[in-house]
Amino acid sequence: MTRNHVATGRLEADAYRAADRTFGFLVHDVSRLVKRRFERAARATGLPITRRQAAVLLYIARSEGVSQAEVATWLDIEPIALVRMLDKLHEEGLVERRAHPTDRRVRTLWLKPAARPVVERILEINLAIREEAFAGLAAGTRDALIAALDGVKGNLMAQEEAAAERSGAAADPVLEVLPDRAAG
CATH number at residue 118: 1.10.10.10
32 lies in some domain: yes
Structure confidence at residue 177 (pLDDT):
45
The answer to whether residue 171 is domain-embedded is yes
C-alpha of 92 from chain center: 22
- 1 occurs within a structural domain: no
- Where b means 16+ CB within 10 Å and e means fewer, 27-49 reads eeeeeeebbebbbebbeeeebeb
Q: Determine which of 35-44, 102-111, 112-121, 169-178 has the lowest per-residue pLDDT on average.
A: 169-178
Report yes or no on 15 lying in a domain: no
Of 177, 136, 176, the C-alpha closest to 155 is: 176
User: Alpha carbon of 128 to those of 49, 74, 82, 116, 125: distances in Å?
Assistant: 17, 24, 27, 19, 5
Please tell me the predicted confidence (pLDDT) of residue 167: 83
* Residue 18 domain-assigned (yes or no): no
Print the domain residue range for 106: 23-177
Q: Provide the number of structural domains found in the chain.
A: 1
* 44 falls within a domain: yes
How far apart are the C-alpha atoms of 69 and 77, rounded to whole Å? 10
Evaluate if residue 30 carries a pLDDT over 90.
yes
Angle CA 132–136–141, to nearest 5 = 100
Please report the pLDDT score of residue 48 as a whole number. 80
Q: Mean of the pLDDT values across residues 75-99?
A: 92
| Residue pLDDT, tens place only, 107-158 | 999 999 999 999 999 999 999 999 999 999 999 999 999 999 999 989 998 9
